[in-house]
A = this chain, B = another copy of it.
Amino acid sequence: MKGKTVGVLGGMGPDATVDFMASVIALTPAKRDQDHIRMIVDHNPQVPDRQEALRGDRSAVVGTLIDMCLRLEAAGADFLVMPCNTAHAFLNDVIAAIHVPFVHIIDETVGEIAKLQPASKKVGVLATIACVQSEGYQSAIAATGRRCLLPEEKTQFELMELIFRIKRGDKGTGVRRSMRRIATELMAQDADVIVAGCTEIPLVLGSADLDVPFISSTEVLARRTVALAID
């Protein structure tokens, strides 16, 4: 297996990147090391805070992401992925500066809803505040003719706090239970699919926790990455 080399803009957050890489490895049909996919990973947790940048000056984040993309290209990446939904809000300003394809996590994840759950009408999305404010999921879901359900404002703040707790390494039952409750509130509003639109969320929540189909943006991106790389 030679295949394509994947460039990964990582570190946002660290555990989520490792989870993404583990998914790529697990999803690759392989019997020995050499059957696996080459990934060049810029695990850069020092990208400035995306939540803050979306409220104010975006330039530092945009500049850092472009720099990471160009380094990955120079290192041999055939296409790029970024296992962080929020950071995709900066993508329009980044794309113009790069020369290889960039696989968009939100577009891929929403595409997966239509493929896996064609009858779905209302999609519950768990994401960061900045990701919600940049409306990536809302517009992509609306384009498929579905409704996007989001937590109420107070719950959305609580969700953000849970995401920060996961980033601090807290993946215990307290966080898991609260995350499940927030998803359940969306199901009570008739969400027939729940999307983990933040790559921290699958670190604590899985299909077994919910009564409706659960779509992890991490896993969708990993599956797409494998398909493109071994093509």
Q: Which residues of A contact B (CB under 8 A)?
A: 1-2, 11-15, 17-18, 21-22, 25-26, 30-49, 71, 74-76, 164, 167-169
Contacts and interface: CB of A to CB of B under 8 A. Distances in A.
A33 B87 CA distance: 13
Nearest to A67: B76
Given A18-B22, A25-B18, A71-B75, A36 B45 contact: yes
Given A43-B40, A76-B71, A33 B18 contact: no
24 contacts: A2-B46, A11-B38, A12-B33, A13-B36, A18-B21, A18-B22, A18-B25, A21-B43, A30-B169, A32-B164, A33-B45, A33-B46, A33-B47, A33-B49, A34-B45, A34-B48, A36-B46, A38-B43, A38-B44, A38-B46, A40-B40, A40-B42, A41-B43, A71-B76
Contact of A35 (B31, B45, B71, B74): B45
Contacts of A38: 11, 42-46
Please tell me how many copies of the chain the complex holds. 2
B36 A25 contact: no
A43 B45 CA distance: 18
Contacts of A21: 17-18, 21, 43
Contact of A33 (B14, B22, B35): B14
Contacts of A33: 11-14, 45-47, 49, 167
Contacts of A42: 38, 40, 75
A46 to B, nearest CB: 5
A12 B33 CA distance: 7
Given A33-B13, A75-B75, A1 B168 contact: no
